[in-house]
Amino acid sequence: MPEMLSLRQLFALLIAVLTTGSILAETTTNTLVIHADQGRDTISRNIYGQFSEHLGHCIYGGAWVGEGSPIPNTRGIRNDVVAALKKIQVPVLRWPGGCFADEYHWMDGIGPRDQRPLRVNSNWGGVTESNAFGTHEFLDFCDQIGAAPYLGGNVGSGTVEEMAQWVEYMTADGNSTLANLRRINGREQPWRIPFFAVGNESWGCGGNMTPEYYSDTFRRYNSFIKDSPGRRIYRVASGASDWNFNWTEVLMKNVGQRMNGLSLHYYTLPTGNWSHKGSATKFTAADWHETLRRALLMDELVKRHSAIMDEFDPQKKVGLVVDEWGTWYDVEPRTNQGFLYQQNTLRDALVAGLTLNIFNRHCDRVKMACIAQLANVLQAMVLTENDKMIVTPSYWVFEMYAPHQGATLLPADLRAADYELNGQKIPAVSASASRDEAGKIHVTLCNLNPDDSARVDCELQGATARRLSGRVLTASEINAHNTFDQPDNVKPAEFTGFKATDNGFTTTLPPKSVMALELK
Ligand code: AHR
């Protein structure tokens, strides 16, 4: 006799039928051919970069608590956040903005902290900017987490002289007033500044310029950013947002290889409507599908901006730098509208997983990317509340994908089943593969379908999978997330549901999951 269903189970079944249209979970079949004998391009480590802005509690509360804080810190920087970030091997950290960068005057943030000026953060909530976290604190933070600094200079409201002097202050070795000022402020040796951006969103908050005007402005500011002997600064020009291909074209034509990188910004909004973006945690299966569909547009964006860059730069000397990407929802209820604080669910993990797969696959052109943002803002890695800190599902994706950093991309052909909802189709599976220096092959896979598992039959050309191991990130609910009371709701688990075949392996991804496999 089958057991009677409880009322609760009946209700759950009803919800499942209503939301998925089916009570039967199925398994889709997908094929992946990995050309392990055709690896050529390196996946830049910097694709796994982060972005930290003076916005809400990203810097203040997220990274910086000050030396006098009861929250354990090293020279004012939170120890728990540093420890978490070290585990995901953050290669590069962008600062101080964002829109904030074009109203930031670096001299405000040096010298004795109690004498630094108070400013209004006019972009983000109109709050007081204490300038307690400035150049020295940021570069110390980078040292503590092992990341390369990527600074953004102020073009919108700053002068060429100011930007040139900032670079001199940080990098000059000899006897100059600015180098000596740096020494007086506690830093004897010059810093190495590998990456520097000339403005941010110069078509918008960074000065509302035309691409022609910005191109000339870039050329002028860039002339006064001086390299130190043997230490070249990689110069990033402020690039397009979304589908603004004209911006890319004008910059490529008028600036060309004077820039080393050209940025691109793209955010995933579940609705595509900036006035009603949708909730981070309260969403339907249709919202899930639409969010992932919009996140997948990154592939088309990268391809189309790259195609324009190819026309002017067929040798791919100028990198595409996607230095702002991620999900953007309505702020959490009862939080400051200007602080952009949002929760982070399994849906965000899927967005992170499929986007990083896209960047890996386009690593011939995408040389750097920074998810927005590091802490407490947008698609964050960590959330903090006073002395508590949790890591998010997105954090775990960065941790699982870390072996791709610096590895060789292995081209792969994926034939994925459709994941269809309300007449809209997207591929159910996303994938990328690489080989690391030790010869291990890493395959990362996402099953975008929240209802059906996905079998992936993988053919390995030019390699054999003798030993396989894996981890998977999933949860029972599409909106599962970590909270300060339940910090481990969503975290990766060991996975063994694969088997070696004659020419590769087969694995079955659970519904709504991100998987990382290692093949030896
Ligand atoms: O990441 C938040 C903001 O989004 C940045 O400050 C800006 O560059 C973009 O519009």
- Report pTM: 0.95
Q: Does residue 201's CB lie within 6 angstroms of at least one atom of ligand 1?
A: yes
485 forms beta bridges with none
Q: Does residue 372's CB lie within 6 angstroms of at least one atom of ligand 1?
A: yes
d(CA 362, CA 322): 12
Q: How many residues appear in the chain?
A: 520
Tokens, residue 174: 């000899």
Which residue among 265, 329, 339, 377 has the greatest number of ligand 1 atoms within 8 angstroms of its CB, and so is best to mutate?
265
Tens of pLDDT, residue by residue over 397-451, are: 999 999 999 999 999 999 999 999 999 999 999 999 999 999 999 999 999 999 9
Tokens, residue 139: 């570069």
Non-local (6+) Cβ contacts of 304 within 8 A are 243, 245
Tens of pLDDT, residue by residue over 34-61, are: 999 999 999 999 999 999 999 999 999 9
pLDDT the model gives residue 24: 58
Going by alpha carbons, the residue nearest to atom 5 of ligand 1 is 98
d(CA 127, CA 26): 51
pLDDT the model gives residue 11: 46
pLDDT the model gives residue 10: 43
pLDDT the model gives residue 387: 98
pLDDT the model gives residue 3: 36
pLDDT the model gives residue 12: 40
Q: Is 459 a catalytic residue?
A: no
Listed as ranges, residues in the chain with pLDDT below 70 are 1-24
pLDDT the model gives residue 25: 76
Tokens, residue 32: 């992946």
Q: CA–CA distance from 186 to each of 181, 183, 189 (Å)? A: 9, 5, 9
Going by alpha carbons, the residue nearest to atom 2 of ligand 1 is 98
d(CA 388, CA 89): 22
